[in-house]
Structure 1
């Protein structure tokens, strides 16, 4: 998956020597300050998960007390991970998150598997899960007395993906405006839920919290899957590590922003769950097709339509942001020769990364068709925590074997050790106690990455037909390597 060097470069593009010279001169601007870093982290964490996952956590834990314990523990685990990634991000000041850390510490093969799983599974799975939550809240008002038909939910999810990819392919400015506008709605929706629940709680609606731990699950497999459901809404705490090269004073601002944003979101999530449980019993929560809509029908009365609208706007903005930011990872990986060059190219007029966006949309739709929200979260979480465990093990390796590497920010070694133990538990416990077919799919998919790595990355094989396919795709999609536009500046 090496860049085409055999004559197929479109007319007008600079030579490879010129490109390399320009790449040495170009640097990303450090324009993201402390406040923006915190907003990026918090905004990436708060998405559709808090509107969908409470039911999953409750289902596997079996009680209100157990569920709230999972949400609080998930915040603690996320904080441990944020501390570890803060040290990695201030030691290796390159964008790319897990991928770049594994590349610089462990080398080509682990980093390739990381990007392979991210690009072909995790990013599409995240988009699919968010699109399904969006469609659930859009469809629910039309099927208030019964569950929304699965076909309707999936068709709306696919339509959501198509609209988002069209927006992002059309214009970067439009995409960013959508992100900014819809980000506000998610916090408004959560604030309404928290305030409404607190008012009811103060007025004496505490009956659902009696015997809160009765029926709590004790099996380590069930608890592990409950953690999958609870940790997914927290995912995003490492989002600033994708843009480290653009952070102002990352050695100072990155750790501070993480230590404010992650605990803040933890408190927000716990208060939202308390509000849910104040209004609805466990049976009502589990029977609800869209928990925030059910909450709104009981608290807001004739204004209950605000909840599905707010949640739908929130999830739509979240998936739009995922499409928008995913391009950085594609670019970094393609720059290192780990992805086809076509995925790092941009449209010659609109200057949008349309090949990467179209590929992400297709792969997301493929996951939507056979899957459901819960199963997608389970196998994507299994894969995510495998990557987290590997990345944090690289931090331990550096601490022990390469203590001479400058590290402006350091965490006590017990922090990565504890996080690694938790990560290994989250990977192994569900597989051992309650194996599911999704885990086998992820394992087989990882094995397929080895098959791809050996010829295309290790031996740098670039068959003629792939070069021709790249050229035809460039002509069809009207895209070209980004170096062309860098050279024109």
Structure 2
């Protein structure tokens, strides 16, 4: 990892046999390469930025199982309070990231901000946990929900064979990888279409639900705070469920270098997106409770499907299709974002050099996009994904809290750093306190899974010294690594970005 090959000169383009330069362009008769610059281009506009955030946040959770919060709060009223509170806390985190994204204009999100504030070792530990566990498992879970719900209308009312779900899931993952490898423009356009389909699906739930409310269907809201049993051990679990549903507000910061006019676009996209998502989530839950009691909601395996069956009859068959499209949009947005984190980490010397290279014609970070493909497929077919996510859920919020703590630290370490967008200091302080409170309370409520997650993450420390710090590699090993890097560069048709 951390070693840069010194391979240079010309190589044969494997697609047409022509000679190419180190920057991937054909040489002119005078021996100089011609053509446009090979780089990641600024193609993320305000609308595309909003679609990345909303399209990533709104996944399967709000359609399938909002019962996690209800289970740990014990009352309808308290569950709605938690939904609103999680929306406000997510907005605080998003505003903090808006400041970080406008003063540190690099892609990479959490990794980049921890690197700038606290140095390479802590940033590498975060990257290591992402690479070996969090990202492949997270992508596989969303993809499994896609596979389950895209097949639901075909197999109704029978059960879906597990192998069929995994095959559909594998096809979904492959399609997302291919799309992100081929075109940034089409990735962004399809994300916009999928985002509008999600909002349409939510509207199909909210509108008839509010109609029922105006008709007087309010019995489930009577004594809404009765039976509240918000205990100390249940509180972090309730907030985990809520914050997980809102997770995704930070993904635009992973692609900052591709955002058009980031000083304006990043804060505006974040604020608009969070307002839309919070409103949609709260109104969707209100709509559910107009039709279902708390007991019925807790008993449902897929809340949106149960809701649709009660109100819409046969039309309820379209709901699984919308859930599948929602999951596909989340996969697309997630992969688009965190492939840029691997791209930046490679550029910093923390991952193999080929991951920081750009396709000569597509202008996509092809190697950084496909690196998760084998690991995701492996976990999909053989791994215990859900257990792994339980181990890692608190680590995600630990490192997000550390990144926002970096904002506070940079206010004092680099007071003269240009900050086009600056939040009141109380906002990052409150968000940090909440993040760390949830994380450390989980040590009390679930010490076993928390300990396993810490252990997995801490393996990044010896990995840092083995792959990054230790520089006395045998010449034969370094030569082999350089050859592998060069051959991958030729096979994938990628070259270093021009700056």
Give the TM interval when normalised to the shorter protein.
0.7 to 0.9
Find 1:107's aligned residue among 101, 119, 137.
119
Per the alignment, in what secondary structure is the counterpart of residue 482 of structure 1?
A: strand
| Deviations, residues 51-102 of structure 1 (Å, cap 9, x unaligned) | 2340222222232222212111110111111221122222222222221122
Counterpart position of 2:30: none
Per the alignment, in what secondary structure is the counterpart of residue 217 of structure 2?
A: coil
Counterpart position of 1:2: 2
Counterpart position of 1:442: 453
Alpha carbons 2:379, 2:385 under 8 Å: kept: no
1:58 maps to 2:81: no
Structure 1 unaligned segments of length 5 or more: list them.
16-21
* Offset, 1:470: 6.6
* Offset, 1:32: 4.2
TM-aligned CA distance change 1:156 to 1:456, over 3 Å: same
Counterpart position of 1:219: 231
Per the alignment, in what secondary structure is the counterpart of residue 371 of structure 2?
A: helix
What aligned pairs does 1:118-267 form with structure 2 within 5 A after superposition? 118-141=130-153, 153-169=165-181, 175-267=187-279
What aligned pairs does 1:379-418 form with structure 2 within 5 A after superposition? 379-418=391-430
Distance (Å, rounded) in 2 between the aligned partners of 1:389 and 1:280: 36
* Offset, 1:215: 3.0
What aligned pairs does 1:340-351 form with structure 2 within 5 A after superposition? 340-345=352-357
* Offset, 1:432: 0.9
Per the alignment, in what secondary structure is the counterpart of residue 177 of structure 2?
A: helix
Per the alignment, in what secondary structure is the counterpart of residue 77 of structure 1?
A: helix
TM-aligned CA distance change 1:185 to 1:31, over 3 Å: closer
Per the alignment, in what secondary structure is the counterpart of residue 74 of structure 1?
A: helix
Counterpart position of 1:314: 326
Counterpart position of 2:90: 78
Distance (Å, rounded) in 1 between the aligned partners of 2:41 and 2:469: 33
After the TM superposition, which of the residue ranges 128-137 and 220-229 deviates more from structure 2?
128-137
Per the alignment, in what secondary structure is the counterpart of residue 212 of structure 1?
A: coil
Counterpart position of 1:19: none
Distance (Å, rounded) in 2 between the aligned partners of 1:28 and 1:152: 37
* Offset, 1:319: 0.9
1:459 maps to 2:459: no
Normalising by the residue count of structure 1, what TM-score does the alignment of the two structures yield? 0.86
TM-aligned CA distance change 1:357 to 1:34, over 3 Å: closer
Distance (Å, rounded) in 1 between the aligned partners of 2:288 and 2:402: 36
Counterpart position of 1:14: 22
Per the alignment, in what secondary structure is the counterpart of residue 2 of structure 1?
A: coil
Distance (Å, rounded) in 2 between the aligned partners of 1:143 and 1:222: 37
Counterpart position of 1:479: 492
Counterpart position of 1:277: 289
Alpha carbons 1:137, 1:290 under 8 Å: kept: no
* Offset, 1:197: 0.7
Distance (Å, rounded) in 2 between the aligned partners of 1:229 and 1:333: 30
Distance (Å, rounded) in 1 between the aligned partners of 2:405 and 2:391: 21
TM-aligned CA distance change 1:277 to 1:470, over 3 Å: farther
Distance (Å, rounded) in 1 between the aligned partners of 2:354 and 2:39: 22
CA RMSD between the two structures? 3.2
Distance (Å, rounded) in 2 between the aligned partners of 1:320 and 1:265: 18
TM-aligned CA distance change 1:389 to 1:207, over 3 Å: same
Distance (Å, rounded) in 2 between the aligned partners of 1:184 and 1:47: 13
Alpha carbons 1:4, 1:467 under 8 Å: kept: no
Counterpart position of 2:15: none
Structure 2 unaligned segments of length 5 or more: list them.
12-19, 24-33
Find 1:419's aligned residue among 427, 431, 437.
431
Distance (Å, rounded) in 2 between the aligned partners of 1:372 and 1:206: 42
TM-aligned CA distance change 1:170 to 1:82, over 3 Å: closer
Distance (Å, rounded) in 1 between the aligned partners of 2:91 and 2:77: 21
* Offset, 1:448: 1.1
